[in-house]
Structure 1
Amino acid sequence: MSEYILPVTLHGRKLQLPGPKPRELQNFIESLPNSRWWPEKNLHTCDATPATAWNILSHSPCDVSASDEVTELSHRFLRRYEMFEDTGEQPPVRVLDSWEHQRQAYWFAYHRDSALFNMWMGTGKSKPTVELAINKKCKRVIVLCPSAVLGVWRREFAQWGVPDSCRTLILDKQSWTSKRKAKEADQFLKQCEGSGKCAIIVINYESAWRTAFEKWSLGVHWNMAICDESQKIANANTNQSRYCAKLGMNSDFRLCLSGTPLKKDPLSVFGQFKFLDRGVFGTSWTRFRDRYGIKGNFGDNHIVGYKNTDELSDLISLLTFTVGQDALDLPPVLDIERPVEFDKKAMQTYKIFEQECVTSFGDNILSADNILVKLLRLQQMTSGMVPLDPEYVLGPGGEYEVVATEWEFISDAKRKGLLELLQDFPADEPFVVFCKFKQDLVAIREIAQELGRRYGEISGDRKDLTPDAKMPEGIDLMGVQIQSGGIGIDLTRACCAAYYSIGYSLDDFQQSAARLSRPGQTRPCRFWHLTVRDTIDELIYKTLERRQEINEGVLSYLKEKQQRILQTG
């Protein structure tokens, strides 16, 4: 293939790659956006975007003979994504001056067709986002986000937008069908067009790809499409990620917002870049995975490492503006471990299960078939209750979720520990308690009643928040299920929180803490971690102190410990 030269020409909105090609080149050609083979014409075609032209000239496995038009298209991409010059200017139309990093983020994105704001939680991604919509004179904007932050966007556009310049429709009514949401959005869009105002339509990811709304929204030409918490589309094989990839092709400007876009896996950018600019990495997951991932022994998608990382980082940086936690000037944060102890019987039950993965309660047998279930059961024990005959469903975050109707009491050590902690605070001092399990929420609610505190909850069942996703004045104690309350909400009314239990993700933990320690917080934040001595809780807390991934560190420890037990027993 080293002697083969790939010809590339421009015809309208398509690049043409004529002639038969070596087999080794086929995978690369097929990865290009909307690649298609025309046997009657003996040529391939693909989308003629600047990024695609640049990708072919830069990454083709063989030499390329490009027409002048294709070369110019490639140069357009490079000029557009050259490092911007920071002149110190503020956005022309703005309500208030921006922080330095917000101003830089704005200008980084302004002259591009797409951008990813990789900005630490609380650094203010929304302000430059709204200012981009205003200064680009957008008339049709669509925002996709998790359900928990739908209402936040009304607040952000009201706070940072020009008064009376835009209207916001939040499609948050769960009773509405996809057809009803499409109808409401269409009527809203027409009303805004009639009044000359910018229409901002906000919908959650799970609703957006449903048939009726998908068909309607892909028939609209959007001036700006925003994916908030864009790690939600990291997996390119999900329905919501596929929808966003199609939406991106129908939008003038595309923006991803996330504090954790790469999560634990740098390959997770593929789904996000298919939305932002499919020309950068193409559309073939197989080729992308083979180019940058090192496969293990358990299938094609078992990735054990990464390669060509310098190239991958360079390509990601073309669209990505990064702001770290050090950009924030916030009051100090203090993490405090608050140990509690099992009684003798509870500790005996815990140790038996830890060693043998099985124990009994009367006629009921508690067992664990794998390491993930074992970790879940051990955490349930330290929380004080375990389900009898449960069903475990693998949730979207890779954690097992419990479906159970009957629970066995283990210990009230954590319940007493939280009760004693809260008794040290005035009853009207706002306090947040984070937890993993629904049974934990039951215990927190009972403690609130016992102490006469007004209780609120953020979980899969309840969202006791103000319309702009803040902690209401009428709540003294807020129970928050980490999976439901880690993204987008504002709990800065409180400066004190406790962790009753925690999930496996470092990202989720950091997101939850950032709900209190974020701009708007005026007091030092304190986080108490309730841990049962000599249990999995202590290992999780130590892992968090080192800011390591909880999942990897704890599971590795459990596997080693189980192996030692098998060898000695």
Structure 2
Amino acid sequence: MQFKPHKYQQFAIEHILNHEVAALLLDMGLGKTVIALTAIRELMLERFEVSKVLIIAPLRVARDTWPLEIGKWDHLGDLRMSVVVGTEHQRKAALAAEAEIYVINRENVEWLVKNYPWDFDMVVIDEISSFKSYSAKRFKSLLKVRPKIKRIVGLTGTPSSNGLMDLWAEFRILDLGKRLGRFISGFRQDFFTPDKRNQQIVFSYKALPGAEECIYKLISDITISMKSVDFLDMPKCLMNTVEVSLSEKEHELYDKLKKDMVLAVGSEEIDAVNAAVLSNKLLQMANGAIYGEDKKVISIHDRKLDALEDLIEGANGKPVLIAYWFKHDLERIKKRFKVREIKESKDISDWNAGEIPVAVIHPASAGHGLNLQAGGSTLIWFGLTWSLELYQQTNARLWRQGQKDTVIIHHIVCKDTIDENVILALGKKNKSQDELINAVKANLRR
């Protein structure tokens, strides 16, 4: 297929070509993969500025999306790609293969740095947001070899899903601390103040007045952002909330766990040892089941399953994609409905071919980079997630360019439970992220 870049795509390609360090905050569906590959081809085969490229991506994106994209476009036919995934033997064989581009999943970055003599002069990080934790092994490993990298590109549509603090580690990898500082302590001191704390222990920070604008300005010289709705003829997207209500008895159980952090259901006792565990337990209860001792699943209610059945029937045979969070969600959904998990390449191709009426997907394993828009236009959130990044990325599997129908995203929300807090929190985080993206939004008339 011949690649005729849109104006915004050519602008993004030029941004990579003109910046040895580049951050592209590209909304889902804008074609960041072909943008990056086109820039790589220019740098490698036309300008001779780089000789060996490493792409770091989520596992399924590394295995499926990047190889599919390079084989899709005519102008990329003279680039060879080797996919470094699988067993250690398979990874070593892939690294030994002759290629211009090597693609590895982010979980194996530490292994690569430890076991391979580094000779990549360009690195592309697909979903730079996965390097937002400065304590993670992948961050520390890549930082060790960062001085050896001549060119680096960070791609994402969700740069600060949990707030501005995420940006420090991402840009520390990109520019070695030139813009936001070399140490997280200095970044906190300059732009944040302690928020929630217990004496000397600080649990969270909030931005100082004017900090957001200052941070955006510091990174603006290497950063561009683009939102799909500004450049694409995006399909209409309808958000719908389906409320379910607990019975009086079920709500008594929910309130007791929330208040006492200990709940007895029959002979089983459920103990929530801290606030994080309690939040997790309450989300499970809102979904209809909860883990007891030894991971035994204790059923509480079927309210969400009943609502899910109504939504599937209401789709009138149109394919439906269900997002679940807990394993017992999946088990209970499977027990009640005939569904198929989206996990492997065959599942993806069968879904896009319209051969799967009802599919289930876990946001953490399939949130990034998968093109599922050809298979359906209805997404149902059975269980919600606190992660804005996973939430937006999962929605973007269907709501993206190429989708021919109006996308309908249903959220099954258990009334008067933690579900309502999650929906509210996602809205607040989205506001903060939109402010970042708008602050560095590309002006194509420059």
Give the TM-score band, short-chain normalised.
Answer: 0.7 to 0.9
Matched letter for residue 407 of structure 1 = V
1:501: how far off? 0.9
Taking only the aligned residue pairs, the percentage that are identical comes to 22
What amino acid does structure 2 have at the position aligned with 1:548? K
- Which whole-Å CA distance do the structure 2 matches of 1:419 and 1:302 have between them? 40
How many equivalent residue pairs? 418
- 1:201 matched residue in structure 2: 102
Unaligned runs of 5+ in 2: 45-49, 433-446
Shift in Å at residue 516 of structure 1?
A: 0.6
Conserved 8 A contact 1:457-1:464: no
* Equivalent residue runs for 1:402-417 within 5 Å: 404-417=294-307
Distance 1:111 1:538, change over 3 A: closer
Aligned residue for 1:147? Answer: 59
Deviation at 1:503, TM superposition (A): 1.1
Partner Cα separation in structure 2 for residue 103 and residue 243 of structure 1: 33
Post-superposition shift, 1:381?
A: 1.3
| 1:382-415 deviation per Cα after TM superposition (whole angstroms, max 9, x unaligned) | 21111112xxxxxxxxxxxxxx531111111111
SS in 2 for 1:134: helix
Offset, 1:468:
7.6
Change (3 A) 1:528 1:363: same
For 2:266, the equivalent position in structure 1 comes to 362
Instruction: Give the number of the structure whose residues are more often helix, by fraction.
Output: 2
Partner of 1:98: 5
* Secondary structure at 2:80 match in 1: strand
- The within-5 A match list for 1:181-220 is 183-188=92-97, 191-192=98-99, 199-210=100-111, 213-215=112-114, 217-220=116-119
With normalisation by structure 2, the TM-score equals 0.85
What is residue 442 of structure 2 aligned with on the other side? none
Q: In structure 2, which of residues 403, 412, 415 is the aligned counterpart of residue 530 of structure 1?
A: 412
Partner of 1:323: 226
> What residue identity is the alignment partner of 1:232?
S
How far has the Cα of 1:234 moved from its partner? 1.8
SS at match of 1:202: strand
Structure whose alpha-carbon radius of gyration is higher: 1
The verdict on how the C-alpha distance between 1:181 and 1:271 changes in structure 2, with shifts beyond 3 A counting, is farther
Match in the other structure for 1:44? none
Question: 2:47 corresponds to which residue?
Answer: none
- Deviation of 1:231 after TM superposition, in Å, equals 0.9
- Give 1:496 shift: 0.7
Aligned equivalent of 1:195: none
Pick the aligned partner of 1:483 from 364, 372, 383. 364
Which residue is 2:340 aligned to?
A: 456
- Aligned pairs for 1:100-499 (under 5 A) are 100-137=7-44, 138-150=50-62, 151-160=64-73, 162-173=75-86, 176-177=87-88, 180=89, 183-188=92-97, 191-192=98-99, 199-210=100-111, 213-215=112-114, 217-222=116-121, 224-278=122-176, 280-281=178-179, 282-295=181-194, 297=197, 298-299=200-201, 302-306=204-208, 308-327=211-230, 328-389=232-293, 404-427=294-317, 429-449=318-338, 455-458=339-342, 462-463=343-344, 465=346, 471=352, 473-492=354-373, 493-499=375-381
Offset at residue 232 of structure 1 (A): 1.1
Alpha-carbon shift at residue 509 of structure 1 (Å): 1.5
Distance in 1 (CA, whole Å) between partners of 2:108 and 2:235 is: 38
Distance 1:203 1:438 in 2: 27
Residues 130, 157 of structure 1: 8 Å contact kept: yes
Which residue, 369, 391, 397 being the options, matches 1:515? 397
Tell me the residue number matched to 1:75: none
Q: Tell me: CA distance 1:218–1:268, structure 2 relative to 1, closer, same or farther (3 Å).
A: farther
Kindly indicate whether residue 405 of structure 2 is the aligned counterpart of residue 506 of structure 1: no
The Cα offsets for residues 31-65 of structure 1, whole Å up to 9 and x where unpaired, read as: xxxxxxxxxxxxxxxxxxxxxxxxxxxxxxxxxxx
SS of residue in 2 equivalent to 1:523:
coil
Alignment check: 8 A CA contact 1:456 1:464 kept: no
Change (3 A) 1:311 1:408: closer
Question: TM-score, normalization: structure 1?
Answer: 0.68
1:181/1:142 Cα in 2 relative to 1: closer, same or farther (>3 Å)? farther
Question: CA 1:350–1:295 in structure 2 vs 1: closer, same or farther (change >3 Å)?
Answer: closer
> How much does 1:99 deviate?
2.1
Which residue does 2:441 correspond to in 1?
none
One-letter amino acid of the structure 1 residue matched with residue 77 of structure 2: D
- Specify every segment of 5 or more residues in structure 1 that has no aligned partner in the other structure, as ranges: 1-93, 193-198, 390-403, 450-454, 553-569
Give the partner amino acid of 1:154.
Answer: P
